[in-house]
Each structure stands twice: as structure tokens, then as C-alpha cells.
Chains A and B, each alone.
Chain A
Amino acid sequence: MRPLDYRAPADAAEAVAAVAERPDAAFLAGGTNLVDHLKLGVARPGLLVDVTSLVPVEITEQGGGLSIGAGVRNADLAADPRVRRRYPVLAQALLAGASGQLRNMATTGGNPLQRTRCAYFQDVSTPCNKREPGSGCSAIGGVTRQHAILGASDACIATHPSDMAVALAALDARVRVLGPGGDRTIPFVDLHRLPGDAPERDTVLEHGELITAIDLPALPMAARSAYRKVRDRASYAFALVSVAAAVDVAGGVVRDARIALGGVAHKPWRAHRAEDALRGATTTDDSYRAAAEAELADAVAQPGVDGGNAFKIPLLTRTLVATLRDLATEEA
């Protein structure tokens, strides 16, 4: 852990300027991942700019949807009655993540920016392209149970660990960002990148850009939504696979759907192909299975010294079918 400076500026603009001018500066919010990385040597910033009291901490009504301040803690977001009623998938995803203590610390802006829990990424004694570009990917051919089956590259097979982000990807959320050049808004599904040949970049954010809020659009069907997380321990574990889904069902037919998948890719995986396959389909297991298979047509299993992760493909199919079945039943 190298020595570091700490600053708590007066406002967000000053914080952005402070980070932008130093290549080795980083924003500090809840700290749950960054402080971990300081100790592991994965992150080696020379300056931390504390933004916890600079970004909004309110959840406000906005155009039939909600705007969530980047400083809203995960626990408060999950407990918000509007979120629980109108976007249960988001409340459930938040509650499925981490522990009560961590949810009291982690923020709306920070959670999506947490980095992969790939064990090789977190261990500075093993090569990792994400940590040290060009050093190689140790996960390929290693322990791959927690690794990707969609969108991976020869350079990186890591998965994104956030549960909350999977729900946000399904809900068509938008990310409001303040940067050195001003504001911009990014569709949440475009925030995270696939690894390609630059796995060191998790997101499209530029250095110095700060998430200030995440907006949820009005989405009536989200009132019937759910997050299903499958993991190796009953609680306090990262997803093997997860499904965030909202469906609009009437008369035994799926009219519309929003689906995102977790634990399977470098980013929360919006399942457009599955959604397309579901629109107009009957509310049967066969339809759900066909939708899952459409989405997973290009899935690639990773062999591994632990038996690999081929099981994730059928597991994800089974989980998506079960989630949609439960939602449709709830609807009826």
C-alpha cells in the first residue's frame, strides 16, 4: 500500500477537477472495494478524493421514474418504499448483494464501479491483463467457476460482480456523469465494457468522470419483476449466475420483457435476444427455454482446473426458466 494523500473538497466540481488533474487520483465513496484494493495492492492511487458528502443522497421523483443520488447507500435504496413497490427487482438485487454492513456503506455510484472478484486479478503475484495490461490472463485454464461464459476475450474472462448493476441493466437505467468537460448521460447498459483487448477498462468513464446519479425511467411492468441469484452459499456470496427480469404478461402471452443476466460476463448482460424471443410467446417453460437458448447461443464455457464452468450454461437456462415461470404465475 503506497502512501496517499486524502482530500475532501467542497463540491463535486472541485472533486472532479482534483481527480482529473492527477493521473494517480481516485474517487473515494463507500470504500468497500477501493480500500480492499489498496490493501491488496490492486489499486495504488496517490490521492483519494472523498466524494461521499458531495454527491446527492436523495431519491427523487422524476418523470414518472426515480432519480437516485450517487451517494444513496445500497441499504437505503433497497429500503425505499417506492423502489420496493415499483422496481422490486432492484430492491431484491441490492438485498442479494454482500451483507447488511456492506450495504450500509456501499453507494449507488460506487456499486456499479466495483471491480471483478476474479481471484487472479486480486492476487498481485499472478499475471492479469486487467491489472497489468499485457501480462497475460491467469484465469484462462485456472479456477474458472466464477468466470464468464458470454462476451469474454482471449485477454480476460472476468465477470462483473455487482447484483445491483444487473437490475439496473434490465430497467433501462441511465447514468448521470459529471466530468472535467461537463455533464453527460450514459445508458446504463453502455456504462460497462466487454474486455476485448483492453480488459483494464471496466467502463466507458474517462479519468475524472464522477457518477452523480442514476435515473430509473417509468417502467410499469417493473412492478412485476424479480431478481434471482444462484450462488454457492446461502448468503454473503457472489453469484454463479443471476437473472433480473420484468415481464408484461396477459392472457397466457408475454407482451414485453426486460431481462439482464449476472455472473456470466464482463458486464451486466442485457439479454436482448431473450427479450425478442419472448415477445409474443406463450407463457410456457418451452418458450422460456427457447428464449434462454437464444441468448446463450454464443455462450462459451471455460475449462478449468476446478472442473470449469460449463455447468453455468444449463444452470442459467434453468434459472431463467424458473424466474420467468414464477413471474408469470405471479402475474396470473
Chain B
Amino acid sequence: MAPPVQPREMGRDLARRDGPDKVRGLATYADETPVVAPLYCAIVQATIGRGAVTGIDADVAAALDGVVAVLTPDGAERLADTEDAELAVLQSADVAFRGQVVAAVLAETFEVAREAADLVAVTYRDDGHDVRLSPDRDDLYTPESVNPGYPTDTHEGDVAAAMATAPVTVERTYTTAMYHNNPMEPHATTARWDTSGGGHLTLWDSTQGVHPTRKTVATVFGLDPHQVRVVCPYVGGGFGSKGTPHVNVVLAALAARAVPGRPVRLALTRQQMFALAGYRTPTVQRMQLAAERDGRLTAIAIDVVEQTSRIKEFAEQTGVPTRTMYAAPNRRTTHRLAALDVPVPSWMRAPGECPGMFGPEVALDELAERLGMDPVELRIRNEPEVDTETGKPFSSRNLVACLREGARRFGWADRDPRPGIRRHGDWLVGTGVASSVYPTMAMASSTARVRFAGGRYTVTIGAADLGTGSSTVLPQIAADALGVAVGDVDVLIGDTAHPEASVAGGSSGTATWGSAIVEAAGAFRDKFGAQPPDDAEAEGSIQPNEATERYAMSAFGAQFAEVAVHADTGEVRVPRLYGVFAAGRILNPRTARSQLVGGMTMGLSMALHEQSLVDPRFGHVVNHDLAEYHIASCADVADLQAHWIDERDPHVNPMGAKGIGEIGIVGTAAAVVNAAWHATGVRVRDLPLTLDRVLGLTG
């Protein structure tokens, strides 16, 4: 790893470079890539939960004026690699879940494409489906590992014995719902296949990683990566759902290859996103806590049950944060999966940490209640000296500082712990706290190129800006690494024509790409010195960080919520939500604050509203649109603030920065639920915190 970079531009409050275009609507997203005479692709989805297509009558559709092609399992191109069953579109008649793609139409206009898709008549053999997640299923299984490669189970000491002997215990089950990422920009691709020179595929795709998408698409179609270019200057939000290519990307490419030379536009509808673009599994979390009367934990355990798809496994690492949060000699974490006839679950903002800090952080609040101890103090009392999982020291760990600073800002000190006693007009009011955590990661490989021409430095790297601010922050890093002013640096991202970069995932983007840029800048100066000639150019790649062998690395935070519950109707409001985070150096306070506030807002949304409701008779998400799958609206957010403490960590990367894209959503729901208990005395252990639940009218 390169030595620390001296911050001059890093840490400055700079406005987004893409802001002026974004407020006018001139930023170009995938579906509006300017191309000549595009065809529109419309999808036909399965209306059974499991079985097979027995017949497709596309004659009426194909005869419509303007229809160019109807793609079906019978006629569609055979893919070179179908190992990833999620991506093996139109390769067989099998239906693995309701909503799966069974046909697609290409037409000259959007209106005709949709009309034709409606006219494709599909008949099925219905084999019956099973989509019920329950911890009581007898076919739960143990995955080999959990995302992205953690051990499935961990055991230390004897939890059962500690539970049996401890003076105070909590043993409860908590659940989180099924969630859909729902970025505002639906998954979209504009694709073109050019046959000249052995064939070349261009995908203007909404993706969190152009190079990973290229790799997947090249594999699926048996193309050389150099035959595929993926371009993505802007992403209208992803939150993990654009971190891996879903079936829409493969279908867009397949469709384009069916009409060489013609550009094809394929944008999922909002409804289709509920079956085809990934989601977060619902979780059932059985928690056990044992403690001494002074609050010291003697045992902590979480047993997680969640779902995956029968055709492709994704095992969310829900139990993982419990491995490192608090000190306790006896510990257990387990994960069990039900493989169901459901769409394939995938990444959604802070996989593992987000659901996995709900049960534990509410259970701790219940423990504090039983102990008669302040919940902030209870957490401080269980602060570990080293990472309890690995035994390594933390490169920096400032959870306690976040809890103290949050308590100070929030006015926690004079809190009366008794629940259900504060009434302001018609509203019962309470406050709650929870911790946040997210691991500090970097991807193994990414490369950047620095070029000097005409008095300016241009850095190119196939990175992504999903609204995270990387287009603005990477120039700050580059400027400091080169020792020049940020105004003299341009950074170009989002194109496989640039050097290969990792996916924007795991809150690792800035750390990984920034490290590559630092290496490239170092190589550039080594080669050309301070006075480079025109067209001077050098590359650099992220290097292994030996410090990861000596230290555990995570960002921490604390969230404080004030909740008001209407005494008559049970309506829940969150008048205040404050977060304090310790995430190393904050590279740009303006974009960082937006990231953290945004994560907390999504956490608030998860706490109060979000749930994808599956009807087991049909096997689909019934509330598959934005009218019924509620995400927080503007009116749900009041005084919502993100702060941070000054944290210096020379070990994480040359910038000293930890990832901040995901930690904001971690712990929020627990803080809100804990505050609702303090307001009303009703402990809700199942999300979302709906008014009927807080009134005790629905179990």
C-alpha cells in the first residue's frame, strides 16, 4: 500500500461536478442514450410459479405492424454459458418463479412493443410452487458460506450454559421483511450488436460496474471481453440491485444480437423490477442474550433463517455483524436457508449488516430494559478490546465516541427510561438508540490511468457514480496524489474503454479506485517528475494492504431516534433522527453528508414502511409498484441529521477513508423501533412498524 496522501483537496466541501447537468435533466442515463432509430423491447412474464411453457402463440403479435421480432425459448439464440441460471434467459421452457421472462418482443415503437407483448399467448404446465418462508420448515439447509464468503456458522464457548446460569437473559425472535431496492431509475440498457470485424457488442447500461458487467456478458455469450463495451456515465441509483447484471442486461444483448446494427432499448417496468432485479431476503432472527447484573454480556447468539431461490443461491450474511459488535465469551451465529420458487435474492444496501443489526440492537434495548440500565451505557459496557471474531485489534474503532457524541447532540442525558409516559398533545413520544457498523473493504483489483495534456491531468478509470459523489471525490484524491489543484484534474469514469475497475459495492468504491489513482499518480510522478511533457501517461493498480492482516477494519456509528405515535390512530412519525459516524477521513463533507443522510432515510423507510408482500397462492409480490410498496416520502422525514467524529486511520488505505455508502442504513430501524417502545410501551419485533402493530391490533 502506498504511504498516506497528504490532504489538501481531500476533505474540502466541493459541489458535485455533475450537479449542473443533473438539475437540468441533462445527465444521460442508459435509456436515453442518443442512438438512431432504436427498437423497443417488451418482456412477457410467466404467470405460473413453477413448471414449464408448453406453447407460445406469437402469430398475432408478430403480425402487428411495427413488430420486428418475437423472441421465445424455441427460437432465441443459445447462450454459450448458462451456469448462472438467473441469466440463462429463454434457454429452456422451464419456469422457476412467477414473473420469469418467457418471451420478448422487439418493435419499432414502445407502444407497439407493449401491445405485442400483451398479445403473446403462453400456455403452461403448472407444477405447483412453494414460496413460504418459515423457520419451521423441515427442509432448511446450511449453505457452504454466506455472502460474500464468510463462514456460515460460528461457535465459541457454550451459549446454552450461559443462558441457563445468567441472572438476566433475553430470548426473542425478530423479523425483517422482504425489501426491493427500487432505485428511481429502472434497470435499463440500450444495446447494439455490430457484425463487422468479428462482431462487437455495445451496452449502454445502468450498472454499478461496467467491467464486471462486461465480464459477465462476455462469458454468457462466449465473446472475448474486447468484443464488448459497456458504457455508463450516470446511474439513477442502484443500492446493490445494479451491482451484478440481472436478466434484463442479457436479454437486451440477446435482443440486439437478433437485429444486427439496430440499437435496442430495454427498460424494466417498475412492476417487473419486483421479479427480475434482485431483492433482500426476508429474515427471521432468533436472538439470545445473557448478561450479568452490571450489563456485561456473557453470551450473544443469533440464529438466522432466510430464503434463497431454488435456481441460484444467495445467502445473506445476516448473522455476521453479531460476530464483531460486542464482547461476550460465549457466542454463536448460524444461517439456514429455505430454497423456494422465488426470484433470486441479491445485494441490497448493506447486505448482512442492515437486517443483521435489527434483531441484536432491539434485543439489547430489551436487555437494557430488564437491567434497568441506560441503553447507551449498556453498549459502552460491552465494548470489546479487540475484534471478537479474529482476535485482531481494530485499526480504529470509535463506537463509544459516536454513542457519546450522539447522546450529547441529541440531548439524551436527561432521558427518563420509563416507557409510555410522555404525551405531547395527541402524540406519545419516546427516544431510542442503536449502533451502526459496516466493514471497511477494498476490492483486490482496480487500475487507473493518469494522463497529462494541455496543462491538465485526466484520470481514467471504469468506476461508477451512483449518486455517491465519486465523480467529485475521485478528482480530490487525484489532485492530492499528484500534488496539484483539484481544478486541474478531470476524472472520466463509467466506460470499459477506461482501465478496469471494481464494482461499486461493499462501500469499497472510493477506497479501491482511490487507491488505484494514488498508485497511478505515484507511477506518473516517478516516471515524469513534476514537469511532465504533453501526452505523458502512466497507470497504477491498487496494491495489497498488509495492514489487513494485522487489523480488523470497520466503520462504526450510533443513531438516535425520536418517535411520536398518535395516541388514537397509532400513526408513527419520526420528528428527529440523528446519526454520528466514525468513518475515517471524510473526503468531501457535502457528498458524504448526503450519503449518510440518504442511508438513514432508507433505514427510516425500512423501519416504517417497506415490505414486499408475497401471495403464496400465486407466488408473486402483490404490492409490486410504488403506490403500494411504500418507500419514505418527503413528508416522512423531519429533522434528520448526520454527523461524524474526526477519525484518523492510517491503516485502511492511503486516503485514510472508510466506506460510507451503506453504514447509514445500519441500525436505523432498531433505533426507531426502540424509540417507539419508549413512546408507547409496545415492543414491536417485526418490521415494518405499522400503526396496527404499534397499537397492538395486529400480531
Question: A residues engaging B (CB < 8 A)?
Answer: 1-3, 39, 41, 117, 119-120, 123, 125-126, 138, 141-143, 146, 230, 232-238, 240, 305-308, 310-311, 314-315, 318-319, 321-322
Q: Is B86 an interface residue (CB 8 A)?
A: no
Bound Cα distance A307, B690 (Å): 12
Q: Which residues of A contact B616 (CB under 8 A)?
A: 305
Give the shortest distance, in Å, between A228 (CB) and chain B (any CB). 8
Which residue from B568, B627, B692 sits with its C-beta under 8 Å from A319? B568
Q: Which residues of A contact B698 (CB under 8 A)?
A: 307-308, 310-311
Give the shortest distance, in Å, between A45 (CB) and chain B (any CB). 14
Within 57-115 of B, Cβ neighbours of A (below 8 Å) are at: 111, 114-115
Would you call B699 and A307 a contact (CB within 8 A)? yes
Would you call A232 and B622 a contact (CB within 8 A)? no
- The answer to whether A305 and B613 touch (CB under 8 A), given A230-B691, A311-B695, A321-B568, is yes
Would you call B627 and A232 a contact (CB within 8 A)? no
How many pairs of residues, A versus B, come closer than 8 Å at their CB atoms?
Answer: 99
Would you call A235 and B568 a contact (CB within 8 A)? no
Q: Which residues of A contact B623 (CB under 8 A)?
A: 119, 143
Q: Is B194 an interface residue (CB 8 A)?
A: no
Q: Which residues of A contact B615 (CB under 8 A)?
A: 138, 142-143, 305
Would you call B570 and A315 a contact (CB within 8 A)? yes
Q: Is B165 an interface residue (CB 8 A)?
A: no
Which residue of chain A is the closest to B638 with respect to CB atoms? A234
Q: Which residues of A contact B627 (CB under 8 A)?
A: 117, 237-238
Q: Which residues of B contact A235 (CB under 8 A)?
A: 633-636
Q: Give 23 CB contacts A-B under 8 Å.
A: A119-B623, A120-B622, A123-B622, A123-B624, A125-B618, A142-B622, A232-B609, A233-B608, A233-B632, A233-B636, A234-B571, A234-B635, A237-B627, A237-B630, A238-B627, A305-B613, A305-B616, A311-B695, A315-B569, A315-B570, A315-B697, A319-B569, A322-B568
Bound Cα distance A305, B115 (Å): 33
Q: Is B535 an interface residue (CB 8 A)?
A: no
Which residue from A1, A237, A322 sits with its C-beta under 8 Å from B569? A322
Bound Cα distance A306, B692 (Å): 12
Would you call A125 and B47 a contact (CB within 8 A)? yes
Which residue of chain A is the closest to B632 with respect to CB atoms? A233
Give chain A's interface secondary structure class. Answer: loop
* Interface size bracket, B side: 35 or more
Which residue of chain B is the closest to A326 with respect to CB atoms? B426
Question: B residues engaging A (CB < 8 A)?
Answer: 45, 47, 111, 114-115, 118, 426, 568-571, 573, 608-609, 613-618, 620, 622-624, 627-628, 630, 632-636, 690-692, 695, 697-699
Would you call A230 and B569 a contact (CB within 8 A)? yes
Bound Cα distance A74, B524 (Å): 63
Give the shortest distance, in Å, between A292 (CB) and chain B (any CB). 12
Q: Which residues of A contact B635 (CB under 8 A)?
A: 233-236
Q: Which residues of B contact A119 (CB under 8 A)?
A: 622-624, 628
Would you call A311 and B569 a contact (CB within 8 A)? no
With A232-B609, A234-B633, A305-B613 known, 16 other A-B pairs at CB within 8 A are: A117-B628, A119-B623, A119-B624, A143-B622, A234-B573, A234-B636, A235-B635, A235-B636, A237-B627, A237-B630, A305-B616, A306-B613, A311-B698, A315-B692, A315-B695, A322-B569
Q: Which residues of B contact A138 (CB under 8 A)?
A: 615, 617-618
Bound Cα distance A123, B628 (Å): 13
Bound Cα distance A291, B573 (Å): 29
Bound Cα distance A233, B699 (Å): 20
Q: Which residues of B contact A319 (CB under 8 A)?
A: 568-569
Q: Which residues of A contact B632 (CB under 8 A)?
A: 233
Bound Cα distance A120, B634 (Å): 28
